[in-house]
Structure 1
């Protein structure tokens, strides 16, 4: 497995509409890409990643909400010279190939979203609270599933990437410009 480079705004490749994964493309190469995407996402750290974010314009995305594991010991780590204790999480990796939303709810929910391609910027985004998704797994098998809560939001966020849309594109022009200025300042300070 390998950690891949994550494209960041304003990289024009992030505006690419991704191509469907063809039947003949299911196999070891696709599985390796998904494995590399998980490793990249966990290292970033993030909870979702679309293939276009690592420069591959294919309709593939990976998600792992990494819920808290109440049965595991808390994890101790050190940041900026301070020791912290975090709840342990468990890995629940999910792969969606050629996903299609077939029944988005009318009811919206609001989550504060961030994105590995727009680092350190967060904003509230309204999306359908639930949705039904039709997708394939890494072996090409078809599935249909109803998603809700954070999983529904995360899937819709990652699916936007497949259409060349970033979460900041859902913001008003003023808020989007403020987010991009903030990102520019963060980069200049680094």
Structure 2
């Protein structure tokens, strides 16, 4: 049975490590981790979560874009486990967007990311998938990939005045 895991927060050493490549698929233990990541992401109103955020330093994350209180305008997609993910190509068109993170609670930052990317990853069955991601889903992928390399979104905010409290972000973004 899947369980909600504790999410590591900024300051935790595991969030600054480079995650290990996953070499054996399929793997029942990894499938359990994937199920736990999916329920943890949903319970936290996240649109993505990486294995290092829950204490597993492996190259795995979930992309689960859907509207939520944190991202009310997010597009809906089926939660997808991405193993050993990588970016194959980038559009080169950089777009600024506000990001938050389950591991950096209460803070948003304006981050430049590629608008479109071509990605590759393995499924839990070991099948190779390549696809193009655009806009918000591309942003999620890039954000989660950073987690696998020990990078948090505040590291990508070039101007410190573009790091703001969540409550201020909600006023700016949604006139709340």
Structure 2 equivalent of residue 83 of structure 1: none
**Offset, 1:67:** 4.8
State the secondary structure of the residue aligned to 2:19: coil
The reply on whether 1:53 has 2:53 as its aligned counterpart is yes
Gaps of 5+ in 1: 69-85, 184-190
| Count of equivalent residues | 161
Closer/same/farther in 2, CA of residues 67 and 173 from structure 1, 3 Å limit: closer
Structure whose alpha-carbon radius of gyration is higher: 1
Distance 1:109 1:90, change over 3 A: closer
Match of 1:9?
A: 10
Q: What is the aligned-residue RMSD (CA, Å)?
A: 2.3
Which segments of structure 1 move beyond 3 Å, counting only runs of 4 or more?
Answer: 172-176
Where in structure 2 are there 5+ consecutive unaligned residues? 167-176
**In the alignment, what sits opposite 2:121?**
135
CA distances 1:106-150 after superposition (whole Å, capped 9, x unpaired): 111121100000001011111011000011000011111011011
Partner of 1:150: 136
| 8 Å contact from structure 1 (residues 61, 158) kept in 2 | yes
Task: Find out whether 1:92 has 2:78 as its counterpart.
Answer: yes
Matches within 5 A, 1:1-190: 1-23=2-24, 25-67=25-67, 92-172=78-158, 174-175=160-161
TM-score (norm 1): 0.78
Cα 1:172–1:149 change in 2 (3 A) is closer
TM superposition shift of 1:174: 3.4
Q: TM-score, normalised by structure 2?
A: 0.84
- Report what 1:187 is aligned to: none
User: CA contact under 8 A between 1:64 and 1:91: conserved in structure 2?
Assistant: yes
